[in-house]
Amino acid sequence: MNIGFIGLGHLGKAVAGRLIECDHSLVVYNRSPGKAEGLKAEIATSPAEIISKAEIIFVCLFDSAAVREVLTGSDGLLSANDLSGKIIVDLTTNHYSEVPAFHDMCRSAGGDYLEAPVLGSVVPATQGKLTVLVSGRTIAYERVQAILQDIGSNIFYLPAPALATKMKLINNLVLGTFMATLAEATALGEKAGISKKDILEILSVGGGSSLVLNAKKTKLLEEDFSTHFSCALIAKDLHCLLDLANSLQKPLFTGAMVKQLYSRTFEEDIAEEDFSAIYKIFKK
């Protein structure tokens, strides 16, 4: 079965590479064709070409505006108005309010849309160890479940539209808050005269013990903030999270503070670096 893949950013390219390693044949599209370099895949010239060649199409983009363009643009996935037998699996972390329309548009064209945001970034993606949250029709989920198991070691099915997206945003409240706390603790410890190596080793067996610290310890220690998951992306996700909390009339105390910290990364010109680069703000 041919699989389509649209969006070859840091995460998208890692997921596409993993699918190829699992012996899937891919036809890929990215606005910048050079992003496909190194992938053993057919390169398409438009999303419309992808839909003509694949039954299951993965989408992994920056935000909902990009997803809408890929769906509804003049050469988008919906341009043929016929998605019969097709399933679009959207790995993008969308705005929760946009997702129901994506489900409806694809169903109206005869296909299915599954929102499937993932927990984890480049390294677990290359290892097939992402956590995948899925919402959409059960019949569509069952068709792609085996493929999702190639990229994710944990898969959670939350059938109602938008639930997977909302849960991803809630997860990123914890992710962003914990990363900021680890970064601030590290900078404070250094200021107090403790070596960074000792700080991180002690936190890793103390109150900081977590998947987050395990994943970002080397980046903090070596100050190598090459991007796996950018500050810009988590800032976008936290903005969506605040909208969700507002719609529920629920105050969000730590989320609001951490959103502002990640917004500061744009002023500091580090927004495109890994989200662990928030350490630079505290160290400064």
* Residue pLDDT, tens place only, 129-178: 999 999 999 999 999 999 999 999 999 999 999 999 999 999 999 999 99
Task: Please report the pLDDT score of residue 130 as a whole number.
Answer: 98
Are residues 188 and 112 part of one domain? Answer: no
Are residues 196 and 149 part of one domain? Answer: no
Evaluate whether 69 touches 16 at the Cβ level (below 8 Å): no
> Of 111, 136, 159, which one is at a domain's C-terminal end?
159
Are residues 98 and 197 part of one domain? Answer: no
CATH number for the domain spanning 27: value is 3.40.50.720
Amino acid at 206: G
Are residues 144 and 194 part of one domain? Answer: no
Are residues 265 and 137 part of one domain? Answer: no
Are residues 45 and 149 part of one domain? Answer: yes
> Of 159, 192, 224, which one is at a domain's C-terminal end?
159
Are residues 251 and 186 part of one domain? Answer: yes
Helices (H), 45-161: 47-53, 64-72, 99-108, 122-127, 138-151
Evaluate whether 29 touches 69 at the Cβ level (below 8 Å): no
Average pLDDT over the chain reads 96
Are residues 22 and 61 part of one domain? Answer: yes
Are residues 199 and 274 part of one domain? Answer: yes
Are residues 177 and 101 part of one domain? Answer: no
Question: Rounded distance, CA 284 to CA 279, Å?
Answer: 9
Tell whether the model's pLDDT for residue 1 goes beyond 80: no
33-42, 132-141, 260-269: least confident range: 33-42
Task: Please report the pLDDT score of residue 32 as a whole number.
Answer: 85
Query: How much of the chain exceeds pLDDT 70, in percent?
Result: 100
Task: Please report the pLDDT score of residue 54 as a whole number.
Answer: 96
Total of domains in the chain? 2
Are residues 151 and 169 part of one domain? Answer: no
Closest to 153 measured CA to CA, from 113, 126, 114, 115: 126
pLDDT in tens, 46-104: 999 999 999 999 999 999 999 999 999 999 999 988 899 999 999 999 999 999 999 99
Q: Which helix (H) or strand (E) segment is 117 a member of?
A: none
Task: Please report the pLDDT score of residue 33 as a whole number.
Answer: 79
Are residues 6 and 110 part of one domain? Answer: yes
Distances 175 to 40, 66, 72, 211 between C-alpha atoms, Å: 33, 24, 32, 10
CA-based max dimension of the chain: 64
Domain that holds residue 259: 165-283
Cα 115–Cα 94–Cα 9 angle in degrees, nearest 5: 90
